[in-house]
Structure 1
Amino acid sequence: MADLKVRDGTVSNRKITFFVALALFAQESTWNFYDNQVPVLLREHVSSAALVGLLMGADNLLGIFVQPWIGNRSDNTRTRWGRRMPYIAVGMPLGALIFLLLPWATSLAALVAVMFLYALVANSTRPLAESLVPDFIRPERRSRANAAVKIATSLTIIVASLISLFVVDEHPRGAFAIPAVIMLLATAVLIAKVRDSRSPAYQAALTEDAAAGHAEARVPFRQVLTELIRDPDRRRLLLLLTVVLFGGAWFASRSLITPYGMQALGLTRGEAGGLTLPSGVAYLLACYPAALAAERFGRLRTMAFGMIVFAVALAAGTLVQTATGTVVVFCIAAAGAAAFSINAVVALWNLAPSSRVLGTYTGLYAVTWYLGGFGGPALIGAMVDLTGWHGMLLDIAVLATLAVLVIVRLGRLQRRHAAAPVAF
């Protein structure tokens, strides 16, 4: 186990990056298969598409409350295994077992109950696994690690699709066992190999606990939120606002593309639904270069450049409204979005005031991203109602431009704090 103590060499960084990527790969394998197949289970009990959509979206709503809470709870946990692993070691196997129950629910009430339990447990483990990155890896290398993690989680879309394609028709219940087994195996590896009590951030938190004294060792979530809001340094709030705005633009570009393709481009439902497939590959290819660019040019500059590329590409898509042109535009936009998504949470980690609140900040990032995912499509949909489908890409570009303006302001504040030890 001594080999997981992070030293200056890159080998230990690669090991912990692999383990975090494995944890999130396992978790996202169940999430993506859940998104693929649970709507079908719901349709066996209800005919309303709106109700199915509402029930499927409830997990994101639950995440808004659960993820910052569990992140803060883990921040205040002290055990010989560390502060994240005790929850991961229990939560991931429990989530796998609950996941196995989904196809066996024989009534709507039972299915909704199992869905709620699964979403509760799954939302509790995700931010903890993500928080292992800033726990172990020093600030200047976190973008590389996060890029590897994003690539791993993106690949789970392919895994879920393959299980659906080759297994579900013949074994509709047994297919749920494959993602569950992946999660159980990943948990076994993590339990055997990872003790975050040995991470630099955990050791720094213990030092801060000792300096603060027993009465001040625990940092409640309310205290973290109050400090964030009242702090005259507005960089963290501006960064979270950027996440909300750009998250809204990103989710709108993904969730509304099928009706856009049908209404503006005259495509069939299937053809319109496939418009974003090449852009998924472009996103994966751009992840690691985005991390390297952040190390060379700075995270804020890389994020701003990526958002500008995203906005300009979609604005150009308004002028070239063909299926081929839209595919090209979305590939360019996805590459720009990667520059933002790989580096945004890293920038927030590096702005955290203490090693004791890294899990809480992971949860805060998730909340703002989910809020963007909830509000962005609704806002763009309202603009489409006013201006028509042909202007949708320009509407999204305008929302992304607002995010660029906020990060430009953030960049100015960062230059004023250039002496602060923050690895942008």
Structure 2
Amino acid sequence: MNQSEHRRFTYSKTLIVGFGFLGISIIWPIFNQFIPLFLQAGNPQFESQLLAEGRAIPDVVGFGLAPSLALFIMTWDNLINIFIQPWVGARSDRTWTRFGRRKPWILIGLPIAVVGFVLLPFAPTALALAAFILITNFGMALFRSPTVAWLGDLFLPDDRSKANGVINLMGGIGSLLAFLGGGYLFNNFGRAAPFIAGAILMIVALAVAVWRVREPRQLVADTTAAPPRSVRENLRLLAGRADRSGLYVLLGILFWFIGFNALEAALSSFAVFSLGIAPGSAAIYSASISLSFILFALPAGMLGTKFGRRGVILAGLTGLAIVLGAAFFVIQGVATFIIVLVLGGLFWALVNVNSLPLVYDFGDEGQIGAFTGLYYFSSQLAAVIGPTLGGIVVDVMGDQYRWMFPFSAVFMVLALLVILRIRAAKQDVAQA
């Protein structure tokens, strides 16, 4: 079977690959919804704000930390991931065992991640919670890049936006299960239940992917001729090209993930500490963004295939900037909160589904894992910068989480300006 035949797009194959991303996507909504609440609940500033507005104080036990410190702790894992995920991605290009190329990294990292994740709700102190966060994310960092690199391994360039639409649809289903199931379990069975259930579902989803995905023995180009390059070397390679579009793509990814990750880390805190919504109910309402993303993930990939990834990403960034900027004034209760999340999920699908294929357009077909690692270098660096800066903004603005919406909108505008500077990608030219 030749390379093109092996990499032919089919929905059945793509759904199986999507189980890997579904497993990864189950973890983060539970993590981002409840860990910030555990860190900040009991802060008297939030309680006084809720009482002043006539809202109820949600019943959740926490460590009473300030927003800046709590959101900074949420980024500790990403400081490690900045270096681990690109390195693992590059190493997985040159890995081959009887299990495959990417699968060994899943088999190593998954047990570590599960142990750390299940321990999170039982942490007796903020320091113990931070340690369990590091364990969880160290394990996740060992297999996230290799799992996502299947997009490049198994699909031709012209099919990647469409395939990534299906894969992200599966990821959206994982997020939806996490939000709805996690909220229900938290409300009815306590703080540990979402974490235990999430760990079980992650194991099942990734087991399906490991069992059913058939990895190619050889990549498109020979990856054994030279040793793997470091992140710095890969960035230097992009910087040395006459066309700097690859660097602009990574910078755009940095900006839009700063905005998205800051808001994602703060969303439950806004719902609970600003709107007075119960923690479990806040998670259920937050499922609106995942449901919207699921509905638009596949159309977003098809639009990227038909009209070009760059243009579709620009449309998504424009929509996000408008919606997030307006959200500061619009959100006054549950209904307007859900409307903003639905619109945000729609526009985020246009951006997120087409972003990794755009990296591959300016990368190297023989270094799929390495360029997947560069994608995660930008996104994980953003996951450190975004919540940290956002937490400082919330502190400065009197512990008002509402300011996270215009903060995120600013970075969507910056991303838009950067993406405007890149030339049309090979795939985009083919559509013209």
Shared fold by TM > 0.5? Answer: yes
Point out the more displaced range, 225-234 or 93-102: 93-102
The aligned counterpart of 1:205 is 221
The aligned counterpart of 1:283 is 293
The aligned counterpart of 1:231 is 241
Per-residue deviation, 1:344: 0.8
Question: CA separation in 2, counterparts of 1:97 and 1:258?
Answer: 24
**CA 167–337 in structure 1, closer or farther in 2 if over 3 Å, else same:** closer
1:141 matches 2:182: no
The aligned counterpart of 2:345 is 334
**CA 418–35 in structure 1, closer or farther in 2 if over 3 Å, else same:** closer
The aligned counterpart of 2:86 is 68
Per-residue deviation, 1:368: 1.5
The aligned counterpart of 1:95 is 113
Answer 1 or 2: which has greater helix percent.
Answer: 1
| Contact 1:302–1:339 (Cα < 8 Å) also in 2 | yes
| Contact 1:85–1:194 (Cα < 8 Å) also in 2 | no
The aligned counterpart of 2:359 is 348
Per-residue deviation, 1:279: 3.8
Residues 6-33 of structure 1: CA distance to partner in whole angstroms, max 9, x if unpaired?
547543xx34322332122223334444
Q: Determine which of 13, 16, 32 is the counterpart of 1:19.
A: 16
Question: CA separation in 2, counterparts of 1:247 and 1:5?
Answer: 33
| Contact 2:320–2:344 (Cα < 8 Å) also in 1 | yes
Map 1:15-414; keep pairs closer than 5 Å.
15-35=12-32, 47-50=63-66, 53-97=71-115, 99-100=117-118, 113-161=131-179, 162-163=181-182, 165-166=184-185, 170=189, 176-198=195-217, 202-206=218-222, 209=224, 214=225, 216=226, 218-256=228-266, 267-268=275-276, 277-317=287-327, 323=333, 327-355=338-366, 357-376=367-386, 379=389, 385=396, 393-394=405-406, 396-410=408-422, 413-414=423-424
Question: CA separation in 2, counterparts of 1:344 and 1:338?
Answer: 10
Question: CA separation in 2, counterparts of 1:334 and 1:419?
Answer: 25
Question: CA separation in 1, counterparts of 2:405 and 2:412?
Answer: 11
SS in 1 for 2:416: helix
Per-residue deviation, 1:74: 0.9
Query: Scaled by the length of structure 1, what TM-score is found?
Result: 0.77
Question: CA separation in 2, counterparts of 1:246 and 1:403?
Answer: 6
**CA 338–346 in structure 1, closer or farther in 2 if over 3 Å, else same:** same
Point out the more displaced range, 381-390 or 303-312: 381-390
Query: Scaled by the length of structure 2, what TM-score is found?
Result: 0.76
Question: CA separation in 1, counterparts of 2:328 and 2:35?
Answer: 35
User: Which ranges of structure 1 fall in alignment gaps of 5 or more residues?
Assistant: none
Instruction: In structure 1, give the amino acid aligned to 2:370.
Output: T
Instruction: In structure 2, give the amino acid aligned to 1:142.
Output: R
Question: What is the total number of aligned residue pairs between the two structures?
Answer: 405
Residues 126-160 of structure 1: CA distance to partner in whole angstroms, max 9, x if unpaired?
11111111110111111222222222223333433
SS in 2 for 1:346: helix
| Contact 2:186–2:192 (Cα < 8 Å) also in 1 | no
| Contact 1:249–1:376 (Cα < 8 Å) also in 2 | yes
Question: CA separation in 1, counterparts of 2:73 and 2:152?
Answer: 33
Per-residue deviation, 1:260: 6.9
Residues 253-301 of structure 1: CA distance to partner in whole angstroms, max 9, x if unpaired?
44556777899xx854559958755344323222111111111110001
| Contact 2:253–2:355 (Cα < 8 Å) also in 1 | yes
Per-residue deviation, 1:242: 0.8
Higher relative contact order (CA 8 A, sep 6+): 2
**CA 190–93 in structure 1, closer or farther in 2 if over 3 Å, else same:** farther
The percent of aligned pairs where both chains have the same amino acid is: 25
Question: CA separation in 2, counterparts of 1:322 and 1:173?
Answer: 30
CA RMSD of aligned residues (A): 4.2
| Contact 1:66–1:124 (Cα < 8 Å) also in 2 | yes
| Contact 1:16–1:136 (Cα < 8 Å) also in 2 | no
User: Which ranges of structure 2 fall in alignment gaps of 5 or more residues?
Assistant: 42-59
Per-residue deviation, 1:405: 1.7
Residues 45-76 of structure 1: CA distance to partner in whole angstroms, max 9, x if unpaired?
98342465544432222222211111111122
SS in 1 for 2:219: helix
Question: CA separation in 1, counterparts of 2:37 and 2:324?
Answer: 33
